Amino acid sequence: RNWALVGAASLAVGGKLLSEVSSTFACGPRAVARASPPSALQKGKVAATFASATATNLAGISVGATIALGVGIAAAGRSQRSQVAARVVRGAPSLLQVLEQKKLLSFAEGQKLLSAAESAGLGIQTVEQLGLLKFAEKNKLLTTAENLVTNPSTPFTLLIGSLFLGGAAFTLATAEQVDFLNWVLVGALGAPALVLAIAALVIFGLTSGTIKTRNFSRLEKVTTYSSIGNLGSFQQTEGFRDSTLLQTLEDRGILSFIEENRLLTLAGSLVNKPLTLTQSLGVLSTVEGLKILSIVESTAADNWGPFNVSSAGLVLAPLALALFILNPFGLGLPLALALGLPALALIAVGIGISAFSPPQPMK
């Protein structure tokens, strides 16, 4: 039914446009036949008038588009300063899962976008130098983008907004008397309509066919205080909360930690052109093919996920130590290394994943 409404609105706008064009050119041939050929002076006046009107119209549209841009930026800043906690829609995939399913990481690698960025002077440390990590974390830009992109209703909502604004702009542009203010309003309404239409198409193409491949829910206990009665009481409730990896990066302040300690700048100083090296080694396509990002995201969100990873290492480590001490058949050292190294690796991975576990909710 929603798409039927969209189609009906599109047909209405198209019918209005067709009727206007038809009424404009209906009497064209007869009028031309009755009119006498214009002189050169008349042609010059018509051209000058047309050029002046066109310049005025374009100026009005530009002013309107600039006003719309300023209002949009101000509204975005106001909404971000409100710091409203938003979560991914239940059942929707995370943004990392969308990137993996649409193979955007391997696309960036195949198109050599990383090396092109470094060749243009945009290194791995550029985001630190510009303060973009702390800015994104403070204003919740990652979670906002994730919620907007992964919400199934976003393309339809944007398309409806685009049709509404575009229809209003078309009505103003085709009015009987159009002055400079009309063209300002046309620009103020038409520019957002175009942006919303493009965004709807891009988001629809990005998320169509994607599904939630891994769970990233976490069982949490929340303690609340109720002031009912003379003394009041504490109540504890349990519930599942979705927490994606991008949300955790912002909630735990990991982006600010990276920027304040200049870790990306350190990596850029240790390795020559790290982005180009990452691209040449095929790291992005490997991570995408093995679903490493979604696995880390799901494991970190699980209450026992990091421990489950480290548990195998905690079992193998004592066995490796026992083999080293007992030295059976003189093979104690090789056997200890064969078990001990994977054990240490599993323990390290579990500890590393625990650093990306969601923080405890505020009580």
Lowest mean pLDDT among 119-133, 136-150, 188-202, 213-227: 213-227
Question: pLDDT band at residue 62, thresholds of 50, 70 and 90?
Answer: low
> Tell me, what DSSP letter sits at residue 242?
E
Task: Give residue 126's pLDDT.
Answer: 92
Task: Give residue 330's pLDDT.
Answer: 85
Q: At what angle do helices 40-81 and 180-207 cross, to 10 degrees?
A: 50
Task: Give residue 262's pLDDT.
Answer: 93
Q: What is the mean pLDDT of residues 17-26?
A: 39
CA-based angle 174:179:183, to the nearest 5? Answer: 65
Question: pLDDT band at residue 228, thresholds of 50, 70 and 90?
Answer: low
- Does the pLDDT of residue 151 top 50, yes or no? yes
- Does the pLDDT of residue 298 top 80, yes or no? yes
Question: pLDDT band at residue 40, thresholds of 50, 70 and 90?
Answer: low
Rounded CA separation 276/269 (Å): 14
CA-based angle 144:148:151, to the nearest 5? Answer: 130
Q: What is the mean pLDDT of residues 239-253?
A: 90
Rounded CA separation 339/316 (Å): 6
Facing residues of 239 across strands?
220
Question: pLDDT band at residue 46, thresholds of 50, 70 and 90?
Answer: very low
Task: Give residue 332's pLDDT.
Answer: 86
Question: pLDDT band at residue 185, thresholds of 50, 70 and 90?
Answer: confident
- Does the pLDDT of residue 227 top 60, yes or no? yes
